[in-house]
Chains A and B, each alone.
Chain A
Amino acid sequence: MKALLDWLARTGRETGKTFKLLRRNKMGFFGFLVIIIIVLASFVGPMIWPAEQSANVEAINKGISLDHLLGTDFQGQDNLRKVINGGRDIVIIAFLTGVLATLIAVVVGAFSAFAGGRVDSILMELVNIWLTIPKFPLLAVMATVLKLNDIVTLSVLMAILDWPGLSREVRSQVLSLRRRDYIEAAVMLDLGTRNIIFKELLPNMMSFIFIRMIGTMTHAIYQQTGLVFLGIVPYSSANWGVMISAAERRGVLYNPQAIWSILTPMGAIVLFQLALVSFARSLDEVFNPRLRTSV
């Protein structure tokens, strides 16, 4: 029981410190807040403001007004409501791809660094060759051939394409940490490989892994919108990517009135990407032991 209480107290203290450190970096904290808002809005929002089913003829392409805060689109549906309902897919794709790619990369990268020798060199040769293949065109070709109809398979495909680059970086990070004396001392004290990886190595790599994960998430959002624009990924649901290309196809560029129907989804994606990046840039401080102690 006491160990449990200790553990709870310690995690409480640690999260408290993390928040204090986060607040110290204004940009990072702002990013963190925006991410939370977007995720909440995308999952809770649709319950409160479900998407309008029918078109509303007389409100087509209206600008900003009181009852339509962000104007309406070519079907007369309220842009704000559409954006709220369009976020869920994007958030899922971003987190699913990011976590999946990072997970595979960390496992393969760490394994390859620890295995060393022939296994390591073969694995890394393959990764290097894989990296010379341009990603987006390959994704586009595979997407056309494989008929992706739901976001989960799309995310898995994007994760499969993205993890090799990440694993090479993880491997070099593990290799450089592994040569440090405190890891060698842990090996001599026979603390066990599992302990060494999770308790000695990972804490020093957390900020590195998180920043790379967020990089993959931003990249996933970009690729999804691109595929939708090229018409390769079907219009299964009205997510932000679909909203943008639908508006673009409806000739928004020639009708200044309808501009809001494209600006709203674009604004949402840009805001989400910026929030992710500024949060990532503050993570260095959050995980830096030197700073954690001065809080």
Chain B
Amino acid sequence: MSSATVSPTLPTARNPLFFWLERIVSNYLLRRILKAIFSIWLVTSITFILVRAMPSNPVEIMIQDLTSAGYSPDEARTQAATLVGFNINQPMPEQYLEYLRNVLHGDLGKSYKSRGLRVTDMIVQVLPWTLFSVGLSLLITFTLGIMLGAIMAYKRDTWIDHLLSNLAATLDAVSPYLVGLLIILLLGVIWRIVPITQMRGAMSPGIQPAFSLEFFADVFTHVRVLLLVYVLSAVGSWMLTMKSSTIATLGEDYVTVARARGLPDLRILTAYVGRNATLPLFTRLAISIGFAVGGSLLLESLFTYRGVGFLLSRALSERDYPVMQGVFLVIAAAVVFANLLADYLYGWLDPRIRIVGGE
């Protein structure tokens, strides 16, 4: 039989470095931040490889364009270097490091097409438009999605459920770009409710941005159709997610017990069914905020709405690589940050996870 064993005492602390590493890994949030930084670094490297290191890559093409435009090879190289923001004559690793240093300082190089404009400034200039349009539509889609989703769940298998479910499935199936086209055709061409000009650009040419009612009215008339398209193309999947989440929650025992306790319906709908059913949707909201920064490449160009998406789409068609690279990086970073936010938010919202250190 086994010899009598004294229960093991605590393991002695190993060398301090290992102890620190152990503490970092154990702290859930720290680990998440490290992962986020790693993914941003990964994205930066991908864009660098795409733009710079691939054979017959765009930087070479830039140089050929310049030489064919009459610049001597050396002049073309230096010119391209200034545009891209790092010295292209150095061996690859040095360029990569310099590129990384620039990114860290927020300098994403200069636009090739519009000479001299720093990419960072261009992005900062258009960012508010995208955040405003996508942010607002996200808010509308989220609230609409939750309400309609809950209605579909409560009124399950009634005509309203079938109607809304099929509507949601259809909207979800059709791609946003086609929804945009359809809305423009319907409102602008067939029914002629909204003049085409109001579906172009973010504001009328002559208006000066100011805190005046007139400015806001003009901004709103330009954005309302784009908002409609954003909402229509996204609300479908929000409704379906909310419906299945609510149906699952309605089946839980604590809802039956709440009814057995004679709680008023409103209290049950909000604190019992509502809070639990919307938990998964909040994380999804946080993630979509990240994608909001990117705006919609297609819809912004379709409506020529001068946002980040429009900037990227023009850079793509004009092969303006520095801008392309910069915008892509900003979008990716925003998404990574949003994921971080989503994890933290879920931990905060759901006590079961908060107590356990957001594991």
| Direct A–B contact in the complex, CB atoms closer than 8 angstroms | yes
Please report A residues at the B interface, Cβ cutoff 8 Å.
Answer: 125, 128-129, 132-134, 136-138, 140-142, 144-146, 218, 221-222, 225-226, 229-232, 244, 248, 252-254, 256, 259, 262-263, 266, 269-270, 273-274, 276-278, 281
Are B332 and A273 in touch, CB under 8 angstroms? no
Chain B nearest CB, measured from A69 CB (Å): 19
Q: Which residue of chain B lies nearest to A256 when distances are taken between CB atoms in the complex?
A: B189
Chain B nearest CB, measured from A258 CB (Å): 10
Are B181 and A145 in touch, CB under 8 angstroms? no
Interface SS of chain A: helix, strand, loop or mixed?
helix
Which among A128, A248, A254 is the interface contact of B181 at CB below 8 angstroms? A248
Are A266 and B189 in touch, CB under 8 angstroms? no
Complex Cα–Cα for A229 and B46 (A): 25
Q: Which residues of B contact A136 (CB under 8 A)?
A: 297
The size of the chain B interface, using a CB distance under 8 A, is 50
With a 10 A CB-CB cut-off, give which of A140, A232, A266, A274 has the most chain B CB atoms. Answer: A140
Type the 1/0 row for B286-308, where 1 means its CB is closer than 8 Å to any CB of A: 00000100100110011000000
Q: 10 nearest interchain CB pairs?
A: A222-B175, A277-B173, A129-B39, A231-B317, A132-B336, A273-B173, A226-B298, A145-B50, A132-B39, A132-B339
Interface residues of B in 176-200 (CB under 8 A from A): 176-178, 181-182, 184-185, 188-190, 196
Chain A nearest CB, measured from B323 CB (Å): 11
Are B173 and A230 in touch, CB under 8 angstroms? no
Does any Cβ of A come within 8 Å of B47's Cβ? Answer: yes
Complex Cα–Cα for A132 and B329 (A): 12
Does any Cβ of A come within 8 Å of B58's Cβ? Answer: yes
Are A137 and B312 in touch, CB under 8 angstroms? yes
Q: Which residues of A contact B51 (CB under 8 A)?
A: 145
Are A137 and B39 in touch, CB under 8 angstroms? no
Which among B54, B173, B185, B317 is the interface contact of A274 at CB below 8 angstroms? B173
A137 with B331: in contact, given A229-B302, A254-B196, A278-B169 (CB under 8 Å)? yes
Are B190 and A225 in touch, CB under 8 angstroms? no
Which among B47, B178, B190, B331 is the interface contact of A266 at CB below 8 angstroms? B178
Q: Which residues of A contact B327 (CB under 8 A)?
A: 137
Which among B43, B58, B297 is the interface contact of A140 at CB below 8 angstroms? B297
Complex Cα–Cα for A250 and B128 (A): 31
Q: Which residues of A contact B170 (CB under 8 A)?
A: 274, 277
Interface residues of B in 120-163 (CB under 8 A from A): none
A142 with B50: in contact, given A129-B39, A266-B182 (CB under 8 Å)? yes
Chain A nearest CB, measured from B35 CB (Å): 7
Does any Cβ of A come within 8 Å of B319's Cβ? Answer: yes
A229 with B177: in contact, given A253-B184, A256-B190, A263-B185 (CB under 8 Å)? yes
Q: 11 more A-B contacts (CB under 8 A) besides A141-B324, A144-B319, A230-B317?
A: A128-B35, A132-B36, A145-B50, A221-B175, A225-B175, A226-B177, A253-B189, A256-B189, A262-B185, A270-B174, A274-B173
Complex Cα–Cα for A248 and B54 (A): 34
A132 with B335: in contact, given A225-B178, A266-B181 (CB under 8 Å)? yes
Complex Cα–Cα for A133 and B331 (A): 8
Are B57 and A145 in touch, CB under 8 angstroms? yes
Would you give 26 A-B contacts (Cβ < 8 Å), ordered by A? A129-B38, A132-B36, A132-B335, A132-B336, A132-B339, A133-B42, A133-B332, A134-B294, A134-B335, A137-B312, A137-B331, A140-B312, A141-B324, A141-B325, A222-B175, A229-B302, A230-B301, A231-B317, A253-B184, A253-B188, A254-B196, A259-B190, A270-B178, A274-B174, A278-B169, A281-B169
